[in-house]
Chain A
């Protein structure tokens, strides 16, 4: 893996040694295992021919901006999937933390400001707000993890419950102080700059700061997954919880921490979501977990458990966003968009499972 050229040479040498039948099977396997990427390449080329604007720098800036927005959620939820679980509460946690961040970050002179006695918007307060919403997200994740680990409940049930509870809290929050369910608006300039301020421009399209934050988060998550005991324990528990327990891994703590870390990521996603949409409504974050789960699965984070790579998640998010951008540019109606997205997820999962079936 470290030396692609050498690997390739070796692969070609191996290939030459095979007999005709093996060669054929080898090629079919390779095409099937990479079918998704081959299809994406064809798709990108087709789009570029039909719509030359697709391959401009501005379009690329638009694409990475979207990837950066969807990546944190996928990075968080991936841990839950590695544990053979899932997290349905992610979207609503984003909604709640976006609302709280939004309220903390409203302009001082905004007419419909929900809470009057908040600190002035300074860099310190912005960072404090980020920390607060990340902690709130982590707390909900902790609740998820606790119930999953303590009572051996399936994460589907636990997170479905917290999803509903969180939405209830969101509705209650939006009705506070005579806000009467109206969207939270009037976000301060400082907050918007901190999250969405342009770092530089590509082809006239601004690249916001949260692209940088997404890169930092990715590096941090890569480190946690690959270089820490916690990360290794997570994969051990995901592949075989019993075996992990026997070899001395604290399964309870690992499960709780994975969900807590996921929750923290949702909290961060909420922190940037308000700026992205310009305002926060009670429906913010609705179904956001679906895209995140889909991205993970496409990127090879398997529901079988114990497998997955950070690079795969990034790839999964890219695939989903490329589909979105390309089909939007081609003017394909949204019903087809859903169908194509569904088909790709299905294919990705089927191809993924195929590898395990072959193994057995």
Chain B
């Protein structure tokens, strides 16, 4: 009986609560809406001191973006802005929800690190949701093979700051090619006149990963063959993909290490079919590969070093290169990226159009796309130690 009473009372309470909520909401809403409108009107006159900058990151655990975030927070602080960082846990729908919520919460500018890289439709949807609120996309590409062009040219509230996706792959390939040409015999442990390689791909669906996987090898082989040497051979003839991919799409060291550990079981020096060179989509994966190699007694400073290449030039990778455990990486400019994004956002908040904002930066590290004036690249650079 008591239970019945409890249920009855509770439901009555809940009902009355919702009833109150429903009745009072519209009145409060209109008042609040009017207030916000008035506030935005007033704010347009001058730059707001408390401008609301919301930065959307695809994931919190990405190592390189961690450095970018660190630098970006400092850049924004120097400009007198406190950014609000949101993380989507590698889920595009979550990010869309966050963006809609931030818009409802009165954001002044959206800085978006889009989860699904290469999906111009998603970028289009984000712009549609944002309406008049400017959007700065950064780091992760918003289109493949030019599909982002209409997004960037047909809207006047958008800018993209990133890297030229294939550039890192081209640079890495060239670096590998030159290194192999110079050290061919030292790399070739089993002396069969061919170098077998392994390739670690960060994410099956990421445009940068796809380009790096493709050009990292193609450009290396172009350089090697031009020097009259045989092209690199994938270590496992049965794998026609010619790469091993982090199935979680997280570019993780753990995935790379597991693959290398497994590869070692059947491909090792004793069997005469050892993997002689490893190309990785990023430094995180390179670290995993090196950890695996070191367990087997390679890349420890003395003894044989299997050349391992990454991209990003994280602090860990720089340390590994200094120790001689890693061979090379491509420096992705975290501080440059952060400075570009923060200053562009600031300029847009001060009333510049996205194109004007990008043009105003004037820095050697950045270059604006030859055809699209709302698209800017932050340069890569090869890194093999200081």
> A interface vs B, CB < 8 Å?
1, 4-5, 7-8, 10-11, 14-15, 26, 29-30, 33-34, 37, 41, 51-60, 62, 65-66, 69, 111-112, 167, 171, 174-175, 180-183, 185-187, 203, 205, 273, 276-279, 281-284, 286-287, 324-325, 328-329, 331, 333-335
Contacts and interface: CB of A to CB of B under 8 A. Distances in A.
A167 B245 CA distance: 14
B119 interface: yes
Taking each of B1, B12, B98, B104, which has the highest tally of chain A beta carbons within 10 Å of its own beta carbon?
Answer: B104
Contact of B25 (A58, A60, A186, A328): A60
B118 A183 contact: yes
B6 A33 contact: yes
Given A11-B8, A187-B121, A278-B124, A181 B96 contact: no
Given A62-B101, A282-B249, A56 B29 contact: yes
A331 B84 contact: yes
A53 B12 contact: no
A4 B29 contact: no
B249 A66 contact: no
Nearest to A57: B29
A328 B205 contact: no
A334 B210 contact: no
Interface stretch (B86-94, B346-354, B355-363): B86-94
Given A4-B12, A30-B9, A333 B104 contact: no
B92 A284 contact: yes
Contact of B144 (A8, A59, A112, A205): A112
Contacts of B86: 328, 334
Interface of B: 1-2, 5-15, 17, 25-26, 28-29, 32-33, 35-36, 54, 60, 84-87, 89-93, 96-98, 100-106, 115-126, 144-145, 147, 204-205, 207, 210, 245, 247, 249
A283 B104 contact: no
Contacts of A15: 5
A73 B1 CA distance: 36
B205 A282 contact: yes
B205 A29 contact: no
B205 A4 contact: no
B286 to A, nearest CB: 21
Contacts of B247: 167, 171
B14 A1 contact: no
Given A55-B29, A62-B101, A69 B93 contact: yes
Contacts of A279: 92, 116, 119, 121-122
A334 B57 CA distance: 11
A185 B147 contact: yes
22 contacts: A1-B7, A7-B5, A7-B9, A26-B6, A30-B9, A37-B17, A55-B28, A55-B29, A56-B32, A59-B105, A62-B104, A185-B119, A185-B120, A203-B29, A277-B92, A278-B123, A279-B119, A281-B116, A281-B119, A282-B205, A282-B249, A286-B91
A53 B105 contact: yes
B13 to A, nearest CB: 7
Given A182-B118, A278-B124, A14 B204 contact: no
Taking each of A175, A186, A287, A329, which has the highest tally of chain B beta carbons within 10 Å of its own beta carbon?
Answer: A329
Nearest to B9: A11
A326 to B, nearest CB: 9
A281 B207 CA distance: 12
A347 to B, nearest CB: 17
B32 A181 contact: no
A7 B104 contact: no
A281 B9 contact: no
A334 B87 contact: yes
Contacts of B13: 34
Contact of A65 (B91, B100, B120, B207): B100
Contacts of B54: 331
Given A10-B5, A11-B8, A182-B210, A328 B105 contact: yes
B92 A7 contact: no
Contacts of A1: 7-8, 11
A34 B118 contact: no
Nearest to A196: B125
Contacts of A278: 92, 96, 116, 119, 121-126
A67 to B, nearest CB: 11
Given A5-B12, A112-B144, 19 more contacts: A8-B8, A51-B105, A52-B35, A53-B104, A56-B32, A59-B104, A59-B105, A62-B100, A69-B97, A111-B145, A171-B204, A175-B204, A181-B204, A181-B245, A185-B119, A283-B90, A284-B93, A286-B91, A328-B86
